[in-house]
Structure 1
Amino acid sequence: MKFLIPTLLLSSLALPVAAQDLSATRIAETTQVLSSDFFEGRAPGTVGEERTVGYLIGQFQAIGLEPGGKDESWVQAASLLHTKLGKPSKLEVTVGEKVLPWQQGEQVYVSTLRAQDRAQIDSAPLVFVGYGVSAPERKWDDFKDVDLKGKVAVFLVNDPDFEATSNEAVSGRFGGKTMTYYGRWTYKFEEASRRGAIGALIVHDTPGAGYGWNVVASPQGENYDIVRAPDQLTSLALQGWIEGEAATRLFADAGQNLAALRKAARRSDFHPITLKGARFSADIPVTHEVVQSHNVLARIVGSKRPDEVVFYGAHWDAYGIGPADANGKTIRSGANDDALGVAGLLEIARHFKQLPAPERSIVFGIWTAEERGLLGSEAYINNPVYPLDKTVANLTIDILQTAGKARNVILVGVGQSNLEDDLARFAKAQGRTVTPESLPERGLFYRADHFSFAKQGVPVMLMMGIAGASDLVDGGIEAGQRWVDDYTGKCYHQPCDAYGPDWNLEGAVQDISLMFDIGHELANSSRWPEWKDASEFKSRRRVHQP
């Protein structure tokens, strides 16, 4: 793929660099450029990608950074598998002699991550595995060595203590309403594959999932993954969700009470239950292709310990071109998600270049395919340019509030690492306080690119403006919540996520400044951030120190 720098859109490169302060004007201009129709919604593997990557390389070159990839390259290849299911010739559950035909998107929603022409499951037994959690550090195992090979695992969504009352033994063991990684659907599918299941289905409920059935079914049978080696392929022919009422009927037909099993699954002595006489069958055509995409990597080399890396991240991709909205707009340009985050990182890079070279190296990773499942950052983690045991921290920006200055900053992932103590200290210097995310049960900590680093033990900090209501200087918490509700309810992943004249980036600049401050201190110290004792990632941290 050839990356051409679109010279007609590089006006912001000629702007003078402020030596003292981050520039809201420059951040706004960069966001406007990246979210313009010229980039066609920045979908991976498209002309929009060619233009986006070329633009980003041009920006980093103009700022004065070096290529951050291997062999002095600005890019890192990320090969993506794209699959789409066709019309099923069979999609059903049988219980004894009773056949229950299911419709894709109604009773069930499935997709595949295997590059095969058909997704087939032939009369596989269904096994209910509760929440499907294997967490030795919490003395919890839902599987009890059950054999899932050739079977379809059926899960509950979220954690075992999500619905627990205070008098239940599990209460608080998995963070209460705060979702742990064990509650994420991605973990459940991964665990089912590790145990050899042929399929995995999660029972949907809106409170536990954090979104309605319409969101589950919205990809319309599409899925993405990185291209994997044969020995790393998932064992799952199909993975997906069962609609709540359909699941209740299925369990009842198999002689089980789903409501009672929900309670049983909240006990550590829970054992998997084979749904008596229930079998799942599917035969669905699959189209599949490999999409060649790219991460963009740039760096500032450290003056004393260049092999130690402070890593900044944001994602360049959005949702490309889709169906027209009510106004006829088809390009989903992702102005806030995440052109604004990319603009923030470019401004941080400019600011670093006005200062003496940091002791440690600074690397900027602008990722592809975040919207397809954090795939660009996962591709990097699977083939890191910089050793992970020498990566000090990852600082990620993904969506910022655009309603003005705030008295607080929202913390995503409370209790994970001592980077949150750094956040509180620098926020205090701004005259601000830290507010924990308001809906931790939605698991936002596990839904941005920093998480790819966290899974490998690298301490992380995520700045995400939709995680809670900002206490705005103009309008307070009520106005902050109104902004969150308006953005998430109307424009998140939609064509109306576009730059507008009503944007006020003073609050975004506050948050970007905090990320600069944290990274600047880390880059000029010998300190290694640490996971807190309660974090599920503490045991994964490996640090190579001389």
Structure 2
Amino acid sequence: MKYTILYFFAIILLFSACNLSKDNKQERKTVISTQRMVSYIKELASDEYQGRKPFSEGETKTINYISNIYKEIGLKPAVGNSYFQEVPLVEVSLKAPKYLKLESLNKIQNLKYARDFVVFSRRLKDTIKLNKSELVFAGYGIVAPEYNWNDYKNLDVKGKTVIVMVNDPGFGSTDKSFFKGNEMTYYGRWTYKYEEAARQGAAGLLIIHQTKPAGYPWSVVLNSASVPKLYQQAADNYRSRCKIEGWISWETAQSIFADSGKKLINELQEASKANFKGYSLHKKASISFQNTIRFDKTHNVIGVLPGSDLANEYIFYSAHWDHLGIGPKINGDSIYNGAVDNGTSLAWMFEIARAFKSMPTKPSRSIVFLAPSAEESGLIGSGYYVDNPIFPLNKTIANINNDLMLPYGKMKDVMITGYGQSELEDYVEKAAKKQGRYILPDPNPQSGMYFRSDHFSFARVGVPALFARGNNDHAEKGKEYMSKKEEEWLANNYHKPADQYEEWWNLDGIAEDAELLFNVGWELANQKNYPKWKDGSEFKTKREISLSAQ
């Protein structure tokens, strides 16, 4: 009789648990609202927010709006009694020079700003001068011991201006052992190239632009150079950096190399060989321009949902709040509203926060929602956070970040940028199958997107970081349709005033991604193991060292 009663109660408990699980699943599906997403985006991308530039009135409106959303949802302040983490920055505004002067034995050439080159400087001086600095070609400008590669070997660049190729030597290759083949490594990023040139003692670095290996057209380079630059404050006022950093167009580079008796396309091929040796271009560069310098602070906005028994361990969701502010007019409009970049991802994050808060039980681990500042200026807000963490990095289980979520409806795919990096993508694959979707590695790994949004800040300090969203295979219209739409959006809207909310937008796909990545976070938050970097990831050793310190 006793066993019969126990069996009866076990059946009731099992039935109740199944119903609760079903109810919870249904509740998660209904709590994520595209209507609320539209309201967030319309507000944040309105002209009143002035393009959400750090240091502006737009920042004040933006961070107050986000903190009020956090408060309404029920998230706790993460920085004492505040949602705001101060990020001390310096803003450098450039008065663009008209020309970059190049001199050789029998020729003087004046390169025209915007058409031929763009230039800027981190050095905190009112006047930046480069006087008759010898031009040197250093291939890709890479020093990578693990690939037995050194473009600066036996090349003296001290006080000289270096010209380098964009991306890395693996671009276009199918050999995954050669700089990861067509997938860009960190060595291909412009940030790395500027840093390495400074380590080599160069006075300047100019990167040769090409649209495909860069991942964006010349207009993006120009627009980014035209607005004030934001940097973390540095003790040496960036005296250790090159005097000038910048880009030159492909056509201009062709002319420079032709004057030296060389064909640029051939030099590109030679620079992709391990035995390449750099050389002088027998020209000297001179330029002078003015910087206006302003010290100030911006703010990351951070809310937390405390966990239960594993509350001292953390899952991070992130989406940057900033955009480009007010810039050069295009078609009569100068406000760069940033509705897709990154209003859609903020809406995605807010709804995931609501989903966690709506659950009848707390997650075991704490869930942190980070809206970093100054992503558009080089991942500065998220970089400052990981360099000055509020929660221990070796207790930070994972970061799930999103950026540029396109509003074209539901997708069959879940595109993973940086595919093969960590076990987090295995969690995504499991959740995607439940939605009838499939995993798609980023089809354009050569663009280096894994290094171009805030998840990379977490990755570089060893925290497994995920960048995943539906992007390539439209649920009704397929891949060709989405390829065309993405290409159109990048050409016409990316980093332009035209990035505004439109009534035709369909946010169902972004809502489905929110559901999927909520489920990934919920599973991570209610287990005890730590997801790992996969073998071959450049971040694996960093994580192992961090965890060994526990």
Does 2:115 align with 1:106? Answer: yes
Over the matched positions of the two proteins, sequence identity in percent amounts to 39
Q: Tell me, yes or no, if the aligned pair for 1:83 and 1:286 is still in contact at 8 Å.
A: yes
Cα distance in 2 for residues equivalent to 1:117 and 1:484 = 41
- Name the structure 2 match of 1:261: 267
Cα distance in 2 for residues equivalent to 1:431 and 1:119 = 57
Cα distance in 2 for residues equivalent to 1:308 and 1:148 = 47
Cα distance in 2 for residues equivalent to 1:163 and 1:323 = 34
Any unmatched runs of 5+ in structure 1? 1-17
- Greater Cα offset, 215-224 or 50-59: 215-224
Cα distance in 1 for residues equivalent to 2:506 and 2:289 = 48
* One-letter amino acid of the counterpart of residue 525, structure 1: Q
- Name the structure 2 match of 1:149: 158
1:20 equivalent among 11, 23, 28: 28
Q: Tell me, yes or no, if the aligned pair for 1:95 and 1:254 is still in contact at 8 Å.
A: no
**Partner SS state of residue 461, structure 2:** coil
- Name the structure 1 match of 2:244: 238
2:434 equivalent among 429, 432, 440: 429
1:56/1:200 Cα in 2 relative to 1: closer, same or farther (>3 Å)?
Answer: same
Q: Tell me, yes or no, if the aligned pair for 1:111 and 1:222 is still in contact at 8 Å.
A: no
* One-letter amino acid of the counterpart of residue 284, structure 1: F
Q: Tell me, yes or no, if the aligned pair for 2:122 and 2:241 is still in contact at 8 Å.
A: no
Cα distance in 2 for residues equivalent to 1:102 and 1:331 = 29
- Name the structure 1 match of 2:277: 271
Cα distance in 1 for residues equivalent to 2:475 and 2:301 = 36
* One-letter amino acid of the counterpart of residue 20, structure 1: R
- Name the structure 1 match of 2:90: 81
1:129/1:346 Cα in 2 relative to 1: closer, same or farther (>3 Å)?
Answer: same
1:232/1:529 Cα in 2 relative to 1: closer, same or farther (>3 Å)?
Answer: farther
1:158 equivalent among 146, 158, 167: 167
Does 2:547 align with 1:544? Answer: yes
**Partner SS state of residue 318, structure 1:** coil
- Name the structure 1 match of 2:339: 335
**Partner SS state of residue 239, structure 1:** strand
Cα distance in 2 for residues equivalent to 1:125 and 1:430 = 58
Q: Tell me, yes or no, if the aligned pair for 2:133 and 2:159 is still in contact at 8 Å.
A: yes
2:146 equivalent among 105, 129, 137: 137
1:509/1:206 Cα in 2 relative to 1: closer, same or farther (>3 Å)?
Answer: same
- Name the structure 2 match of 1:128: 137
- Name the structure 1 match of 2:23: none
1:464/1:146 Cα in 2 relative to 1: closer, same or farther (>3 Å)?
Answer: farther
After superposition, residues 139-218 of structure 1 pair within 5 angstroms as: 139-144=148-153, 146-164=155-173, 172-218=177-223
1:500/1:206 Cα in 2 relative to 1: closer, same or farther (>3 Å)?
Answer: closer
- Name the structure 2 match of 1:3: none
Shift of 1:297: 0.8
1:53 equivalent among 63, 75, 91: 63
Does 2:489 align with 1:487? Answer: yes
1:91/1:488 Cα in 2 relative to 1: closer, same or farther (>3 Å)?
Answer: closer
- Name the structure 2 match of 1:521: 523
- Name the structure 1 match of 2:303: 298
Q: Tell me, yes or no, if the aligned pair for 2:124 and 2:237 is still in contact at 8 Å.
A: no
**What is the TM-score normalised by the length of structure 2?**
0.88
Cα distance in 1 for residues equivalent to 2:198 and 2:461 = 19
Q: Tell me, yes or no, if the aligned pair for 1:110 and 1:221 is still in contact at 8 Å.
A: no
- Name the structure 1 match of 2:325: 320
* One-letter amino acid of the counterpart of residue 426, structure 2: D
- Greater Cα offset, 182-191 or 138-147: 138-147
Does 2:350 align with 1:346? Answer: yes
Q: Tell me, yes or no, if the aligned pair for 1:111 and 1:221 is still in contact at 8 Å.
A: no
Q: Tell me, yes or no, if the aligned pair for 2:321 and 2:373 is still in contact at 8 Å.
A: yes
Indicate the structure with greater helix content.
Answer: 2
Cα distance in 1 for residues equivalent to 2:495 and 2:250 = 25
Shift of 1:179: 1.4
1:33 equivalent among 24, 28, 43: 43
Give deviations 1:124-177, integer Å, cap 9, x for gaps.
22222111222222232222264433222221111112145x7xxx77512322
1:90/1:483 Cα in 2 relative to 1: closer, same or farther (>3 Å)?
Answer: closer
**What is the TM-score normalised by the length of structure 1?**
0.89
Give deviations 1:295-317, integer Å, cap 9, x for gaps.
10111222223332211100111
Any unmatched runs of 5+ in structure 2? 1-25
Q: Tell me, yes or no, if the aligned pair for 1:397 and 1:462 is still in contact at 8 Å.
A: yes
After superposition, residues 212-227 of structure 1 pair within 5 angstroms as: 212-218=217-223, 219-220=225-226, 222-227=228-233
Give deviations 1:169-227, integer Å, cap 9, x for gaps.
x7751232221211111111111122222111112222222233333223337433222
Cα distance in 2 for residues equivalent to 1:485 and 1:246 = 26
Shift of 1:231: 7.3
Cα distance in 1 for residues equivalent to 2:262 and 2:227 = 30
Does 2:374 align with 1:364? Answer: no
- Name the structure 1 match of 2:410: 405
1:454 equivalent among 448, 452, 459: 459
> Size of the alignment, in residue pairs?
519
**Partner SS state of residue 497, structure 1:** coil
1:485/1:264 Cα in 2 relative to 1: closer, same or farther (>3 Å)?
Answer: closer
* One-letter amino acid of the counterpart of residue 490, structure 2: T
